[in-house]
Amino acid sequence: MQRLLNTFLSLSLIVVAIPAVATPEQNKESFQKFYMDRFSHIEKDDFANGVYALDQDARDQWEAMSDFPPFEDDLDEGEALFNTPFANGKQYADCFENKGQGVRQNYPQFDSKSGQVITLELAINNCRTQHGEKALPYKKGDLAKVSAYMASTSKGERFDIKIPNDKRAQQAYEAGKKYYYSKRGQLNFSCANCHVQNVGRKARSETLSASLGHPTHFPVYRMKWESFGTLQRRFDSCNKQVRAQPLEGQAKDYRNLEYFLTYMSNGLPVNGPASRK
């Protein structure tokens, strides 16, 4: 019996070891295929609407609310902030390609100079410090407003995250992937336990969304927060649910996770900012 079990275990190890050495491109294909097979009636682009792609009742409520988006004021503020020059006369537009218009779909990027993953929020703060301004707090507040404005100028552009042929970029991607699939917290959940294995099922009354499309609509204005929050702020919420200690904004693990998660949604349209419960 023990031997049978061992053979079985090593066999299953071989079977699952294959995706572990697959390329990011192959990972992405099987990740997207998993959801498209599971929900064959849903158009791929509709996954960008998160849980509302899967739960019609919730979608009806959400669409009723979308007639008067709760974030209009914050978004206007984001635009004003974006266009306000720094003390040295430069502005955000000077730090980005195409003056910062329509660039959301290219973030996070791997920066081969620093060997780091650069999220849009990190790039915004880098821009500030480079021009002698103080970095803003991550996850919410003015930074999230600026990021939301930048997302809004990118509506409909398709995510195109690149993993360059650089060992450090691949390592960052693999680290993010491992974070996503590892159980953590006292309650012992991986992101995948909820958003892959149990996607579409209900935890109490909440339908679990697909991770395909997770990053496309961030920053998100959550009724619960009454403000914009970045993708990493949402990571905090999910980590707290499983009693794992959330990380600092832009911690390396979070940036790597965001890199992996956004790469998985390559090809989907930018549709942020969006509102959520």
Strands (E), 168-233: 202-203, 206-207, 220-222, 227-229
Q: Which of 28, 128, 145, 195 binds ligand HEC (CB under 6 A)?
A: 195
Q: Which of 103, 117, 124, 220 binds ligand HEC (CB under 6 A)?
A: 220
- Name the strand (E) or helix (H) holding 211: none
The least CB distance from residue 146 to other proteins, in Å, is 29
Tell whether residue 36 is a contact of other proteins (CB under 8 A).
Answer: no
Tell whether residue 193 is a contact of other proteins (CB under 8 A).
Answer: yes
- Separation of alpha carbons 193 and 260, rounded Å: 16
| Strand partners for 189 | 184
Q: Is 103 exposed, middle or buried (0-12, 13-18, 19+ CB in 10 A)?
A: buried
| Peptide bond between residue 273 and the one before it cis (omega within 30 degrees of 0) | yes
The least CB distance from residue 111 to ligand HEC, in Å, is 22
- Is residue 127 part of the annotated active site? The answer reads no
The least CB distance from residue 259 to ligand HEC, in Å, is 12
Tell whether residue 39 is a contact of other proteins (CB under 8 A).
Answer: no
Q: Which of 53, 117, 172, 244 binds other proteins (CB under 8 A)?
A: 244
126 or 193: whose CB is closer to ligand HEC?
193
Tell whether residue 189 is a contact of ligand HEC (CB under 6 A).
Answer: yes
Q: How many residues bind ligand HEC (CB under 6 A)?
A: 22
Tell me which amino acid residue 83 is: N
Please tell me what DSSP assigns to residue 247: P
